[in-house]
Structure 1
Amino acid sequence: MTARERYGESVLSPDWHGERERLVAMAEVADGTTRRVLQDLGLRPHWDCLEVGAGAGTVAAWLAGQVPDGSVLATDVDTRWLRAIDAPTLRVAEHDIVLDPLPESAFHLVHARFVLEHLPERDAVLAKLCRSLRPGGLLMIESIASFPIASGGTPAFRDAMHAVESTLAATIGTDAGWPRTFPSPLLAHGLTEVSASVHVPATGGRNASARCWSHTLTQLRPRMLELTPEVLPAVDEALRLLDRQEFFELAFATAVCWGRRPAHPG
């Protein structure tokens, strides 16, 4: 199915009144995994880093504090929430990772979280990110992955999460099944020391994950009404469940994949 629009144009738009709160809740869920994996992979104080699709800026701000002798370039198509970050090693730039060029062989680290799965041009973007690495540089990507949803024991929540997946696929071209192929995409682009892991946080108890999915369902509900109105009873029941302290389920996973550009060709 051909996407009719780009991420942020209306679906998951920064202009939606609750979008910053949604991103902050998402960061609360995901930042711990991002930091742990980067530290385990050997993040160094002198590294020059690229943070793609920086969103609310939590990773960019943290990275800036980790590289006092290096730099962080934080990019997004909308940088409204990045401009307030005060860090001497941080530079912010409006940048469309699909359309705009990147410097080649420039970065020790390139990180993109919840970006590539939303781009129909993900393979070309991945190639661009690989080229932007210095020899020996590290690429780390994180993507939402839908595969835990099928085993969910709460039918309304399971159906609502499938509706999120289908709505994002129909509107902006998201492929939440693509991360199930990790780490093959990085191997296909010639990276080495490639591996992957998966984080599946519990959603419920009014925790950050529950708030994030509540915001997501609320924002997507008008598009679901347009595309698949039959799912609305499940969506509304899922919203009620997410507001209950005693409710817990598993939603989307975060699939993490990393690899290095070879230090020497051949």
Structure 2
Amino acid sequence: MIAMTVPERYGQSVLSPDWHRERERLIAMAEVADRTTTRVLHELGLCPDWHCLEIGAGAGTVATWLAGQVTDGSVLATDIDTRWLEPTTAPNLSVSQHDVVFDPLPESAFDLIHARFVLEHLPERDTVIAKLCRSLRPGGLLVIESIASFPVDSSATPAFRDAMRAIESTLAATIGTDSAWSRTFPAPLQQHGLAQVSASVHIPATGGRNASAQCWSHTLTQLRPRIADHTPEALPAVDETLRLLDVPDFFDFAFATAICWGRNPELGSPASND
């Protein structure tokens, strides 16, 4: 697979941790997504002695939750920028600055690897999945969550639809985000030989000044200058959507979260999707 060449990478200036309200954006995102993440991980069967890797840990909410579940194991939380992960108080939670594209990972080291809202932003995603699979122990579990654009086009609010499209096209042009990639789930895990693969989708309501509305408001505000560069015709829709997101009785559906998972086959066991 040939990686697409893009002008920059996530976090350099697009969705940058240097933006003055980035932590608020990440916390709002966690409030929207954590309940689904923790439910899926719990249902997949966490064990207290597991060693876990959290890729792109952001504000650290999932890593902290995992540390409370694997009390006899460990959690390694990584990100390209760890400022929101320090300090950590859980004795079994450690933090490391790490770029999953360029930096190595130990092989056969983890019982669980989880990455949320990471791989869709990486043109090298297929190579990264291969690296993550090698880092799983036999029987280890890989869980990937990604934004999915397919609710957007059915929006009954033209400004909201066009603003979400502007986010999608601007991220694609600047850092190579592919918000349609998750529509292929769980095929990316099947293609790398994982077993017991499956997928699900969560679509939270955005509006009523809820956490999803706050998250998209922060995202639009941070991206507005880049949208002006790439799709200036979308600015009226962006500004109208920012207004709507602060209206108590406005609701719509933005991007969904698509989740897929699979297990590294046990040694000597054939792959199976049962």
Q: TM-score, normalised by structure 2?
A: 0.96
Does residue 38 of structure 1 match 2:24? no
- Cα distance, 1:52 vs structure 2: 0.3
Does residue 104 of structure 1 match 2:107? yes
**3-state SS, counterpart of residue 170 of structure 1:** helix
4+ aligned runs moved over 6 Å, structure 1 = none
- Cα distance, 1:216 vs structure 2: 0.2
- Cα distance, 1:83 vs structure 2: 1.2
Superposed, which structure 2 residues align to 1:147-186 within 5 Å?
147-186=150-189
Q: Kindly indicate whether the alpha-carbon contact (under 8 Å) linking 2:88 and 2:94 is maintained by their aligned counterparts in 1.
A: no
Aligned residue in 2 for 1:229: 232
Mapped to 1, the partners of 2:69 and 2:117 lie a distance apart of: 22
- Cα distance, 1:208 vs structure 2: 0.1
- Cα distance, 1:2 vs structure 2: 3.2
Mapped to 2, the partners of 1:210 and 1:44 lie a distance apart of: 35
Q: Kindly indicate whether the alpha-carbon contact (under 8 Å) linking 1:102 and 1:132 is maintained by their aligned counterparts in 2.
A: yes
**3-state SS, counterpart of residue 245 of structure 1:** coil
Match of 2:20 among 12, 17, 20: 17
Q: Kindly indicate whether the alpha-carbon contact (under 8 Å) linking 1:148 and 1:250 is maintained by their aligned counterparts in 2.
A: yes
Mapped to 2, the partners of 1:54 and 1:90 lie a distance apart of: 12
Q: Kindly indicate whether the alpha-carbon contact (under 8 Å) linking 1:107 and 1:133 is maintained by their aligned counterparts in 2.
A: yes
Mapped to 1, the partners of 2:163 and 2:77 lie a distance apart of: 33
Does residue 239 of structure 1 match 2:237? no
Mapped to 2, the partners of 1:234 and 1:84 lie a distance apart of: 40
- Cα distance, 1:264 vs structure 2: 1.8
Q: TM-score, normalised by structure 1?
A: 0.99
- Cα distance, 1:228 vs structure 2: 1.0
Superposed, which structure 2 residues align to 1:78-157 within 5 Å?
78-157=81-160
Q: Kindly indicate whether the alpha-carbon contact (under 8 Å) linking 1:2 and 1:170 is maintained by their aligned counterparts in 2.
A: no
Q: Deviations over 1:151-193 (max 9, x none)?
A: 1110000000000000000000000000000000000000000
Does residue 215 of structure 1 match 2:215? no
Q: Which amino acid aligns with 2:10?
A: Y
Superposed, which structure 2 residues align to 1:28-67 within 5 Å?
28-67=31-70
**3-state SS, counterpart of residue 96 of structure 1:** coil
Mapped to 2, the partners of 1:101 and 1:37 lie a distance apart of: 27
- Cα distance, 1:46 vs structure 2: 0.5
Aligned residue in 2 for 1:258: 261
Q: Which amino acid aligns with 1:177?
A: A
